[in-house]
Every structure is written in structure tokens, then in C-alpha cells.
Amino acid sequence: MEYKVEKKSAPGRKEVEVLGATFEAGTPDDSEVGRWRQKLDSRKEKLKYLETGERYWYGEEWYGSEKRKTPA
């Protein structure tokens, strides 16, 4: 992969070379991405999936620096 080098002016200097974007643009290949509802069979499995994903925001227990002495 060839990197794009851009020339930009810098304070106190004339021009410097700056490395451009180093990532490759891409899109998901799989058509099943984001279709979690169809992958889970029962209502119980769907609720478990949501509770696990949202436990940071809606959970009663907090971890590390997020722990509060009094609930919000």
C-alpha cells in the first residue's frame, strides 16, 4: 500500500510532509450484518441479548471509575 504524503505549512517552518490517510475504505461483505433479531429464536434469547448489550447504561452495578456512591 502506498501512503499519501501531503505538504502543509507549519508554524515556524516553511513546509512539512504529513502522512495522509492510512486506512483502506471498506464495506461489510456479509448481508447478515445487523440482523440479530432473525438469528435469535425465542423472546428470552432476544431479551438476554439486549440486556447484555445495554448493561452499561441500564445496569444496577457499576465498575471502576463509573461506580457511584448514590444512584442517579
Provide the phi-psi class of 12: left if phi over 0, else alpha when psi is between -120 and 50, else beta. Answer: left
d(CA 54, CA 47): 10
Question: Which residues lie closer than 8 Å to 22 by C-beta, 6 or more apart?
Answer: 1, 3
Residue spans of the domains in the chain: they are: 36-64
Q: How confident is the model at residue 10 (pLDDT cuts 50, 70, 90)?
A: confident
Q: How confident is the model at residue 68 (pLDDT cuts 50, 70, 90)?
A: low
Residue with cell 429464536: 41
Tens digits of residue pLDDT in 11-67? 888 898 988 888 877 777 777 777 888 888 999 999 988 888 887 776 666 665 566
72 pLDDT above the threshold of 80: no
Q: How confident is the model at residue 69 (pLDDT cuts 50, 70, 90)?
A: low
